[in-house]
Structure 1
Amino acid sequence: MATITDFKKSDHLLTLKVLKLTQPQLAPPFIVTCDSKDLPGKLFNTHVKENITTVMDNETVGPSQFMLLPQSIRNIYLGETFSCYICVNNKSQQVVQSVTLKVELQTTRLGKMTLCVPGKDIQPKTLEPKDTLDFVVQHEVKDIDTHSLICEVNYVAIINGVSTPLTLQDYFVFNVLKPLDLKTKFYTAESDEVYIEAQVQNITSGPVSLENVSLEASPEFKVTVLNSTDDGESVFGRINSLPQNASRQYLYSLAPNPVQPKTNTASTSLGNLNFVWRSEMGEKGRLRTSELHKPVTDLPDLRLSVQELPNLVYIDEPFQFKIKLTNASLKPMELSLYLENLSDMSWIGVSGRKFGTLESKSEIILPLSLVPLGTGLQTISGIRIKDSLTKKNVFENDNLAQVYVLQRQPTAA
């Protein structure tokens, strides 16, 4: 009885072929032109017009009307769907029984994934001479690594008058590349609001269309997209095309979600960025980043922010503004407000006054008054806040805000 080890690949009764399925490309015309007064005259222009790939009345710009078959295997990019056509052909003159096909995709990190299960995806088949068994494999690639497509064909043939089970195995290797390069920057405000700047660069071999770029925020945050105008139009224009090696900046604002309970962790998951893009011929790819994390920052225990402040004030006329104090620590504070003298402004109020206990994770709004003594752009400073329990200054700021001071014009009698 013949065994599998007795057979070489060329001795098998069946052949196995794998064809990668890919989209054709637009055939660009080969443009060589010159001024009619030059030595070639109208020769180059005539040649361009006679080229079959040239668009009539548009000989120098625009895509062609004709498709060009791929001259080489196009790169596979992460998030795209890998498609291939597998053909098992009976090249012998005898009937082959119980032909089954098993297809697996193997990577170093993810291991083996079965794409075609014998008896489930394809039922055992009997192949007459010159008959074929066809199967199309489609799989969304999710790993930047060398991929091995392992194809195994099992069948029963008559060898030396005896029914013998045989196995034909072959594998095909292809690489998966990264289509987009992503760089992120984080800006954290004192109000716990986080701004994310995502710079996306097209590193494929041609232009792509970014069909959708979105930030899927974690439940602790509420996301605001800052990539459109007040009319709802995209800031990138109506033509959504990103040329090769070009970049775009997407901006998002994340504010703490008041519905979710606050956490005391220094680093919090912000969510994931999702990309849906299409190649030049419309092939779709999908990407999802790993979790983005809020950078660890040493935030002060007491935070101060300006709530209300007029833009214009007048010299020698008092004006009022409001500040909000937030106790971000885990302990209560006994706070006292101290006001230092300013050269171009004068405080109205008592320095050193106490305003009670501010509990942990609580806030209070305080009204303050100033009298401007000089014109021009003036800086509000000189605010000192001390905690009586720790006897330390928990807030000092000499550049809190700015107001513009004008001289009021006298009214006509």
Structure 2
Amino acid sequence: MSATQTQTHGPHSLAFRVMRLCKPSFHVDPPLRIDPFDLLAGEDFSDDPSSASLFRRHVSSADAVDSDLSYRNRFLLNHPTDPIGLSGLLLLPQSFGAIYLGETFCSYISVNNSSTSEVRDVTIKAEIQTERQRILLLDTSKSPVESIRTGGRYDFIVEHDVKELGAHTLVCSALYNDADGERKYLPQFFKFVVANPLSVRTKVRVVKETTFLEACIENHTKANLFMDQVDFEPAKQWSAVRLQNEDSTEDPPTSGLSGLIPKPPVIIRSGGGIHNYLYKLNPSADVSGQTKFQGSNILGKFQITWRTNLGEPGRLQTQQILGAPVSRKEINMRVVEVPAVIHLNRPFPAYLNLTNQTDRQLGPFEVSLSQDESQMEKPVGINGLQTLMLPRIEAFGSNDFQLNLIASKLGVQKISGITALDTREKKTYELVPEMEIFVESG
């Protein structure tokens, strides 16, 4: 990690050394293998027939069958693991590496005394600085290190959950007394950049009263990500169900083990691998009327957890995902119920609901059938009194009422044109949505 040091009051006796703690990686051998005999003989040994025949006399008969001193067998794959190149060894990190949002930054810090004298009363601090905040990781002010001898050191480990993108600075400072009793202050700065491990792109589609949310997760790291959890947490006015391909659900054949065997995680490949998730959202029935009618377009947010190849965890929470702006009318009028069988030219009752979707009182209302010039003869009309009076409706309240209707045409017809006039504010609201009925002959 790159470091900068501020010199104050001459050279310092102490110095900070920082090493990032992270999992090792698998050591990969090059695919071209060598024969152990190449270490004993020259590269042109196999080109001399007399030397090759002399060597075969000194090997056992069993080995002689499989021994081929030419180079043609060097490229044969004798074991399924040969193409992978994995040697079975682990390789310690050789560089600071990349740090991603959602990971836990863990660092081993050592304060070394490289001078020829002992230092005393050492107060050590370590903190992370970002563009928005400063997070204290270690502070020994209340219990300073008594002394660090010549050639000695004081070691400690700090951890920080990375929750911001961009430039970060690990600030390590020491306040101590040198051999002359002078109080000195040593700050050192170690800078690193936090990158985004994945991106979440969303699409929202509305089909009638159902909202579909598609999320595409793309891996920006150089390692595979094993997705432990991709959960969508809907806002309180929504309920969400994840839609999955039926062919992708593989249950064990024995039902007794179905709860014991965990499902394999979804793997998103390194360097741009993607995986799509689809959710179905419906308005929640458990929220109050006021919340339901406020018209908020907030759908919810994702909680995502994953692990890398060697199990290092990561976690991200997205910002609130917004859907299309919801435009709510002040008054909603809809048909609740009609008879299952409707006969031509016979009156039938229709049960309707008038809902106030504002925070103020509305009404009284006059319910009637609109008479447009283009639709003078409606297939479904009001039977009897053409106007029905309804009382005032409180804020976010509703009123159920009944209309006697009559159908004048056979087949599939629509109940439409029913309006409610607010007599006080002189506003007219129409029935939404239209409802289809089937009219049979009498």
The structural deviation recorded for 1:23 is: 1.6
Aligned partner of 1:385 among 404, 416, 419: 419
- For residue 174 of structure 2, give the secondary structure of its aligned residue in structure 1: strand
Amino acid at match of 1:387: L
The residue aligned with 2:93 is: 70
Identify unmatched segments of 5+ residues in structure 2. Answer: 1-6, 33-69, 251-262
Rounded to whole Å, the distance in 1 between the matches of 2:249 and 2:399 is 38
Structure 2: distance between partners of 1:355 and 1:231: 56
2: CA distance, partners of 1:327 / 1:125: 73
**1:95 and 1:137 mapped to 2: Cα distance?**
25
Matched residue, 1:118: 140
- State, as a whole percentage, how many aligned pairs show the same letter: 24
- The residue that corresponds to 1:253 in the other structure is 281
In structure 2, do the counterparts of structure 1 residues 201 and 366 end up closer, same or farther at CA, with 3 Å as the change threshold?
farther
Shift of the alpha carbon at 1:82?
A: 0.7
| 2:192 maps to amino acid | F
Secondary structure of 2:192 counterpart: strand
Matched, 1:167 2:185: yes
> Offset of 1:131 from its aligned partner?
2.0
2:383 is equivalent to residue 350 of structure 1: yes
Confirm or deny: 8 A CA contact 2:297 2:326 kept in the other structure: no
Structure 1 residue 16 corresponds to structure 2 residue 16: yes
CA distance in 1, matches of 2:168, 2:295: 39
Contact 2:129 2:168 in 1 (8 A): yes
Partners of 1:350 and 1:406 in 2: how far apart?
18
Pairwise CA RMSD = 4.6
Larger radius of gyration: 2
Letter in 2 for 1:336: V
* Aligned pairs (5 A) from 1:6-405: 6-8=9-11, 12-27=12-27, 43=73, 45-46=75-76, 48-49=77-78, 56-60=79-83, 65-110=88-133, 112-120=134-142, 123-158=144-179, 162-185=180-203, 197-216=214-233, 220-221=236-237, 223-227=239-243, 238-244=264-270, 245=272, 246-251=274-279, 253=281, 255-256=283-284, 258=286, 260=288, 262-263=290-291, 265-267=294-296, 272-291=301-320, 296-305=325-334, 307=336, 324-329=353-358, 330=360, 331-338=362-369, 346-347=379-380, 349-350=382-383, 352-354=386-388, 356-357=390-391, 359-360=393-394, 361-364=397-400, 373-374=410-411, 378=412, 380=414, 382-387=416-421, 389=423, 392-395=427-430, 400-401=434-435
> How far apart are 1:27 and its partner, in Å?
4.3
Equivalent residues of 1:91, 1:130 under 8 A apart: yes
Structure 1, gaps ≥5 residues long = 33-39, 50-55, 408-413
Contact 1:346 1:372 in 2 (8 A): yes
TM-superposed CA distance for 1:86, in Å, is 0.5
Q: Equivalent residue of 1:262, what SS?
A: helix
Paired residue secondary structure (1:297): coil
CA deviation after TM superposition for structure 1 residue 187, in Å: 6.3
- The C-alpha deviation readout for 1:227-259, integer Å capped at 9, x for no partner, is 46899969xx84422234314234253635646
Aligned to 1:52: none
Partner Cα distance (2:97, 2:406) in 1? 69
Looking at secondary structure, tell me which structure has more helix per residue.
Answer: 2
Q: Deviations over 1:295-352 (max 9, x none)?
A: 6433222324555589x99997999976544332431251424288999x94375283
Rounded Cα–Cα distance in structure 1 between residues aligned with 2:438 and 2:86: 57
CA distances 1:200-234 after superposition (whole Å, capped 9, x unpaired): 3333333223322334455x535333346899969
Deviates further, 380-389 or 278-287: 380-389
Aligned mates of 1:116, 1:304 — CA distance in 2: 63
TM-score, normalised via structure 1 length: 0.70
Does the 8 A contact of 2:167 with 2:194 survive in 1? yes
SS in 1 for 2:120: strand
Q: Which amino acid aligns with 1:288?
A: Q
Q: 1:132 to 1:382 in 2, by over 3 A?
A: same
